[in-house]
Structures are given as structure tokens and as C-alpha cells.
Structure 1
Amino acid sequence: MRELDDIDRHILLELQRDGRLTNQELADRVGLSPSPCLRRVRQLQDDGIITGFSAEVAPVAVGLPITAWVSLTLSSHAAEVVDEVEARLRGIPEVIEAYLLAGDDDYLARVAVASFDEYENLMRRELRAIPSIAAIKTTFAFGITKPRSPLPLP
């Protein structure tokens, strides 16, 4: 991993705040001319620091008002079981994020669905069908206290 300088950090902060900035707008905000700014952005992409650009979509606006955090505990940690669990999680469209954990639970998945009935169907159809799941715990989010924000770059 390469060392980031203050300009790199500023570029990353601005792009995390608004990934739709034009190169000229970004250059103006970080105090560079457009050509060096574009070179830096491309270098950050080439270095794997910027991994992509995407739109943030309001779940409620597209009919997905229910967010569930699902903790999964495995009964076996054999390599083939772990591979199968991870492949299955990646294949479920309603699972919008999934993390491997250290601690009591093995995975934490964020799920977006239209209704509690839809969540129940997802649980019965997909989650319970994953091999070697010993326990599933679900917590429903009723509001967002702090929306996703830029990474606090050192």
C-alpha cells in the first residue's frame, strides 16, 4: 500500500462526498489543475484505492423499506462449508452486504426487503437452506442514526 499525501486524501474525501464531480470541479476543490488531478485519480484507481463509482439509492424510494441485519453462526468451519456459505450469500440479491466476523457469530449480512412477509420468505427459502448454519439471529433497523459517511482517512 502506498503512502497517501494530503492531496490524495483531499481527492478521496471529495469523491466520497460526491462521486459525480467533474474532473474540473474536483481539481478546483483540491487546488490542482485538471491534468494532474486526473492523473492522481487514475493512479488511485490503478493502486486499488478507488475501487469504483456508484449511485446511492434510497431503499424506501424503490420499495425496500425493511433493513435487517442477520447474524449467522456456522456449525462447521470446514473449507468447503465456508466456501458454500459465502457463495450462497453472494448469490442472494436481497443480501446487499455480508461480512466475515471474528467473535460469537461467523457472518453478518445486511438484507433489504419490501416487507416482513418477504423477509420471512427469504429466511425460509434462502437463509435456512444454507448448509451448516447453526443459528440465525435477525435485528431489524427502524431508522438511520448516521448515514454512510466518508472514510476517516489517516
Structure 2
Amino acid sequence: MLFHLRQDGRLTNVELAKQRVGLPPPPCLRRVKRLEEAGVITGYRAVIDPEALGRGLEVLVDVEVSAADRKTFEDFENTAASCEEVIEFRRMYGRPDYFLRVAVADPVAHEVFLTGKLSGLPAVLRLESHLTMKKIKTNG
């Protein structure tokens, strides 16, 4: 059931029940509702083609910070998270301190993003960008 919903979150209950998991629709709907209520299914979304939005270049950015106080970390996190170019943002154990997945139009836009939005932040010690050669597997 979860496999099929991950592949196509727009499946109707009837399609999911009869064509995918072999259940009558009412019990299938009850199971899906229970999964939603239990927090297993947390939502449904559209997968957008970044090329269609003019953001076809995906860059992975490692960020190391140097800050001695919590406020500086929080300010960095709030600022970076608010950047529209940042499509994924994680605090890591060890090095790097943070991992950002950034979607921009081209290398020039990435340079503008790095120099204009990230590199001048007080917490930033080092930035390292990695360009994606080929996507092998994604979750959408």
C-alpha cells in the first residue's frame, strides 16, 4: 500500500484497493486513514521538474561554520533555510557541519547565491560545492 502511494500519491482509493493491493475499497480506505492518523503518511505533494522552473542545475554544498554561541548557529540556519535556492538543508554530525542541496539556473546563478547569500554570513568558515554529474536514484 505504502509502496504504491509513494509511486503515485494521486491514486484514488478504488484504484489503490482493487488494482494495486487487492482489497475492497472500504477496508483499504480505513487502512490509509489509520496510516495518516498514525503519522506514517505525513502528506501528499507534487513533484516539480526543476528545469521547468529555470533551476536545472543542482549543487550540493558542504558548509563548515565557526561559531561559539547558539544564536550565531540559529541565525545561520534561519537565513540559509529562507533562501529559495535551498531545497534541502541538514545539520550533520561531524564534518561538514551542514549540507545544502541547492537548485539554481546555471553556474553563474550558483556563484551569485554563494557570494551574495552564504559566504558573507558570520558563521560561515568554509563552503565546498559539488556539481551533480548524474542522478542515479531520487525520491522525487
Q: Does 1:90 align with 2:81?
A: yes
- Percentage of identical aligned residues: 36
Distance 2:107 2:16 in 1: 42
Q: Relative to structure 2, which stretch is displaced further, 81-90 or 132-141?
A: 81-90
For residue 146 of structure 1, report the CA deviation from its aligned partner: 2.2
Distance 1:136 1:30 in 2: 47
1:78 alignment counterpart:
69
Distance 1:30 1:17 in 2: 13
Distance 2:37 2:120 in 1: 39
Structure-2 change in CA distance of 1:104 and 1:45 (3 Å): same
Please give the TM-score of this superposition, normalised by the length of structure 2: 0.90
1:19 alignment counterpart:
9
Distance 1:57 1:82 in 2: 31
> Alignment length, in residue pairs?
139
For residue 129 of structure 1, report the CA deviation from its aligned partner: 3.1
Structure-2 change in CA distance of 1:145 and 1:77 (3 Å): farther
Aligned residues of 1:84 and 1:131 also touching (Cα < 8 A):
no
Distance 1:12 1:88 in 2: 35
Structure 2 unaligned regions, length at least 5: none
Q: 2:59 aligns with which of 42, 60, 68?
A: 68
Structure-2 change in CA distance of 1:37 and 1:14 (3 Å): same
Please give the TM-score of this superposition, normalised by the length of structure 1: 0.83
Structure 1 unaligned regions, length at least 5: 1-10, 150-154
For residue 91 of structure 1, report the CA deviation from its aligned partner: 0.3
Provide the secondary structure at the position in 1 that maps to 2:83: coil
Note the aligned Cα RMSD (angstroms): 1.6
